[in-house]
A = this chain, B = another copy of it.
Amino acid sequence: MSEKYMKVQRIEHGTVIDHILPGMAFDVLRVLGISNDRSMSILINSQSKKGGKKDILKIEDVELSDNEASRLALVSPHATVNIIVDGHVVKKFNAEAPALVRGVLSCSNPNCISNQNEPIQSEFKLSPDEGHRYVCTYCERDIVDLVTRIRS
């Protein structure tokens, strides 16, 4: 029997991030700066009860802040964040893509003023007309692949 090989202990303290877009868990870890010295469980392309696939992250002894949840939302909008203390969910919220993002993303346009060592922060607005798309306030360039534009 294979069951014993994946017995996953209940998390007593930490964060469970559910409904991550399938295959995006590694990128979520990267943008959150969570490295392999943490205890964690990662499910990739897990079968969702609602049909389709999703990723799940269970990170021990980390309580995701609102700011970190915003970064998460850039990579995987609508992921669900559960903060666990003493084995109970004490806080649950959806990671919502922020309307305005300052300083987190870098513009893909090398000529953009935000890339010229000027004393300004990068700034992007969530586009109202389409899905998950951000537009640079300065040069109006769209960011297509958000994952690659998140500053480390």
Chain A 42-60 interface residues, beta-carbon cutoff 8 Å to B = 42-47, 53, 56, 58
Q: Please, which residues of chain B bring their CB within 8 A of the CB of A42?
A: 41-44
Chain A 11-34 interface residues, beta-carbon cutoff 8 Å to B = 11, 16, 18, 23-26
Q: Please, which residues of chain B bring their CB within 8 A of the CB of A23?
A: 36-37
Q: Please, which residues of chain B bring their CB within 8 A of the CB of A89?
A: 1-2
Given A8-B8, A9-B47, A47-B9, A2 and B39 touching (CB < 8 A)? no
> Is A82's beta carbon under 8 Å from chain B?
yes
> Is A151's beta carbon under 8 Å from chain B?
no
Whether B44 contacts A84 by the Cβ 8 Å rule is no
Q: Please, which residues of chain B bring their CB within 8 A of the CB of A10?
A: 1-3, 6
Chain A 83-114 interface residues, beta-carbon cutoff 8 Å to B = 84, 87-89
Q: Which of B16, B44, B88 contacts A41 (CB 8 A)?
A: B44
Whether A26 contacts B36 by the Cβ 8 Å rule is yes
> Is A40's beta carbon under 8 Å from chain B?
yes
Q: Please, which residues of chain B bring their CB within 8 A of the CB of A45?
A: 36-40
Query: Quick one: closest B residue to A45, CB to CB?
Result: B39
Per the bound structure, the CA–CA distance linking A6 and B58 in Å amounts to 8
Q: What are 5 A-to-B residue pairs whose CB atoms are below 8 Å?
A: A2-B89, A6-B11, A6-B41, A6-B56, A7-B8
